Structure 1
Amino acid sequence: MAEIPDHIRGIIALYIKRLEENHIPVRQAILFGSYATGGFTEWSDIDLAIVSDAFEGSRIADRAKVRKITLGVSCDIETIPFRPEDFVVDDPFVQEILETGMRLI
């Protein structure tokens, strides 16, 4: 796994804190994509899978739920929200996140 730059760690920590403050308890936070694999550039976004009981299961509605919080922290964050029951290894996308990502929580 790649070394996460300190400023990215700080952004992620603040983001998770803001989610919690806005009644979105985070069960799991997994960094995936270029920051997890080490292939990031200055233009890379911060791909985060967030697992929370506060999500409804609709990616559109759940992304809308976190959009304002996300933009208040960093426009570089790309959140993929999951309910715990949807974050299963049978899903190829979840499997890829688990195989290539870095679990932060």
Structure 2
Amino acid sequence: MVTRESAINIARLFINDCKLSGLSFHKVFLFGSAAKNTAHEWSDIDLLLISDQFTDNVFENLKLYAKINIKYPSIETHPYPTKYYFEGDDFIKEISKESIEILPT
């Protein structure tokens, strides 16, 4: 079972590996059961990824870090372009209410 603390540590490792591959993030949020510290045996680690390098095409975004994500099977990513964050996307607003901001720290 993943705890909030272990989820944050795993997320930071993932973020660092992405940075080493050339992908940078404006913000990263941990949300869901790991953020609420209510995870169970089959829970994943939900990360909201905000990056200037992301576009409206989710599949192209996933390609930017797919090889890295293989190392972290417990992480489920939700990539969004930075503009969505600043334009007030409803999904991002909702997640931001009950999330933990991992990046920037």
TM-score (norm: length of structure 2): 0.85
RMSD over equivalenced CA pairs, Å: 1.6
Aligned pairs (5 A) from 1:60-75: 60-72=59-71, 74-75=72-73
Amino acid at match of 1:35: A
Q: How many equivalent pairs are there?
A: 101
Q: CA contact under 8 A between 2:31 and 2:98: conserved in structure 1?
A: yes
What SS is found at the alignment partner of 1:62? helix
Q: Is the 8 A contact 1:49 1:79 kept in 2?
A: yes
- Asked whether 1:101 is paired with 2:105, we answer no
C-alpha distance in structure 2 between counterparts of 1:100 and 1:8, whole Å: 15
Look up the equivalent residue of 2:92 and give its one-letter code: V
Which 5+ residue runs of structure 1 have no aligned equivalent? none
Distance in 1 (CA, whole Å) between partners of 2:95 and 2:24 is 20
Q: Deviations over 1:60-101 (max 9, x none)?
A: 2112322211112x1010111111101246322111111111
How far apart in 2 are the matches of 1:47 and 1:89? 22
Q: Does 1:26 align with 2:25?
A: yes
Letter in 2 for 1:56: T
Partners of 1:47 and 1:79 within 8 A in 2: yes
Any conservation in 1 of the 2:25–2:51 contact (CA below 8 Å)?
A: yes
Large movers: runs of 4+ above 3 Å: none
- Counterpart residue number, 2:4: 4
Aligned partners of 1:102 and 1:89: how far apart in 2?
20
User: How far, CA to CA, are the matches of 2:53 and 2:101 in structure 1?
Assistant: 19
